[in-house]
Amino acid sequence: MKISYASLLSDKISSRAAVIGVIGLGYVGLPLASTMARGKFRVCGFDVDEQKVTILNKGNSYIDAVSSEELAGHIESGLFHATTNFDELLECDVIIICVPTPLSKQREPDLSYVAATAETIKNRLRPGQAIILESTTYPGTTIELLKPVLEATGLKSGQDFWLGFSPEREDPGNKNFHTISIPKVVSGDGSVAREIIKDIYDAAFEKVVSVSSPSTAEAVKITENVFRAVNIALVNELKVIFSEMDIDIWEVIDAAATKPFGFMPFYPGPGLGGHYIPIDPFYLTWKSREFGLPTRFIELAGEINLSMPRYVIANLEKALDYYQSVSLGNARVLLLGLAYKKNVSDIRESPAFALMEILTQRGTSFDYHDPYVPEIPMTREHSQFAGNKGVTLTPKLLKEYNAVLVCTDHDTIDYQMIADHAELLIDTRNAFKNRRIDVQNLVKT
């Protein structure tokens, strides 16, 4: 009698006997691992960083979305452990890939982490496993990149193992939604794979949305992020235009948002941040070249958003000259906020780094304050700033700077103290007006 690997795996999923492996324990992988453990699956988390693994196995979380208390509970119950030993993939019935997908310096997709992970899995692939990619990428990656590597073992997708894609939808700092409550889009290479993968996520998530193919699911995530990137670029462009007309863009948006239909508010800033919105649209731009198709909106949005840091610094330079008769090169500036969005510690692709690079090029002395980022960690793109420590805000210290530049409007910052003691304020987030704080020498940009 021929073994039905699909039936065996389905039975394991329904009985919670399936072991889930999550490769990559960052902002996507760790919340996912915790969610699966909450769904009563045994979860093995894989990472190449030994320090991360050691920290996690002690019950300490470094991701805001997963509390140390929650993590420690999973460890104590035997539902989670982390490891650098990828041979443990052999024990996993489901393997979920959550590794980075950055852009190269030429703004082309860098799928080296996905490719390396595929090779790692291939060397340990066995019949009866499900392999799911969650890393954001261009449509076609799962079938065109992952599938050939895994099938080089002689095992066949849809027969010996099941392959699919399920885009992550994390929103760091959003207290209204958690991993478990965000609808999960799933897909599979064939109808059987699709049903198996749907069953996996159904067991842990409140709502699962099944789509026809991995390429469709990949396109869903790209579309979500293109939508945000284009609309943010639009309000950034409107900000520049309305500023010349002496019109407050934030007042315009807030008033427009009172319309109960046909309008969705997006807000300007010093540039795009986070691992997804500044990056993912360019994955589609790159892929579209294969079909000889232009992506005008995406590329224009990228140009506008990438230009914002220089626009901010240009306005800072004008304000320093106007209010203090100080050149940018001779000024001392405090950057307020380093994270890419408020109330989180996530610094991936933060526009604050672009601002710091421009200030460094101009010879400007600067410090930063961020209650969530006391010290700048090592990053691939901005290693020159690693180890820099944030300053502690005091009235005396604030007076030592020619200007305070608001990059990120964390709620825990004492804005009234800053308003009372800063010599000049450059506000890219409308932080002071939103808190109804009157400020002299305030420039919105």
Contacting residues for 303 by C-beta, under 8 A, at least 6 apart = none
Any idea which residue has 């530049």 for tokens?
405
User: Mean pLDDT across the stretch 105-110?
Assistant: 83
Q: Could you tell me the pLDDT band of residue 122, with boundaries at 50, 70 and 90?
A: very high
Q: Are strands 130-133 and 19-23 parallel, antiparallel or unpaired?
A: unpaired
How many residues does this entry show for the chain?
Answer: 445
Q: Could you tell me the pLDDT band of residue 276, with boundaries at 50, 70 and 90?
A: low
Structure tokens at 9: 């795996």
Residue type for position 338 = L
Mean pLDDT of the chain: 95
pLDDT at 105 over 70: yes
Lowest mean pLDDT among 116-125, 282-291, 330-339, 428-437: 282-291
pLDDT of residue 1: 38
- Calculate the dihedral angle through the C-alpha atoms of 367, 396, 373, 107, rounding to the nearest 10 degrees: -30
pLDDT at 135 over 80: yes
User: Mean pLDDT across the stretch 119-134?
Assistant: 98
What is this structure's pTM? 0.92
Residue type for position 100 = P
Express each pLDDT in 413-434 by its tens digit: 999 999 999 999 999 999 999 9
Backbone angles phi, psi at 384, to 5 degrees: -65, -20
Express each pLDDT in 310-323 by its tens digit: 999 999 999 999 99
User: Mean pLDDT across the stretch 233-241?
Assistant: 97
Name all domains of the chain by residue range, CATH numbers in brackets.
5-211 (3.40.50.720), 228-444 (3.40.50.720)
Express each pLDDT in 31-45 by its tens digit: 999 999 999 999 999
User: Mean pLDDT across the stretch 335-357?
Assistant: 95
For residues 188 and 194, the answer to whether their CB atoms sit within 8 Å is yes
Structure tokens at 141: 């990656």
Backbone angles phi, psi at 199, to 5 degrees: -60, -40
Lowest mean pLDDT among 170-174, 374-378, 415-419: 170-174
pLDDT at 442 over 80: yes
Q: Which of 188, 200, 118 is nearest to 153 (CA)?
A: 118
Any idea which residue has 């000024």 for tokens?
331
With 0-12 / 13-18 / 19 or more C-beta atoms within 10 angstroms meaning exposed / middle / buried, residue 381 is middle
- Calculate the dihedral angle through the C-alpha atoms of 148, 149, 151, 153, rounding to the nearest 10 degrees: 150
Distance CA(178)–CA(146), nearest Å, equals 29
Lowest mean pLDDT among 71-75, 237-241, 272-276: 272-276
- Please indicate whether residue 108 or residue 67 has the higher confidence score (pLDDT): 67
pLDDT of residue 275: 65
pLDDT of residue 64: 86
pLDDT at 440 over 80: yes
pLDDT at 277 over 90: no
With 0-12 / 13-18 / 19 or more C-beta atoms within 10 angstroms meaning exposed / middle / buried, residue 306 is middle
Q: Could you tell me the pLDDT band of residue 280, with boundaries at 50, 70 and 90?
A: confident
Express each pLDDT in 377-425 by its tens digit: 988 888 999 999 999 999 999 999 999 999 999 999 999 999 999 999 9
pLDDT of residue 380: 80
Strand partners, 163: 131
User: Residues of the chain with pLDDT > 90: what percent?
Assistant: 89
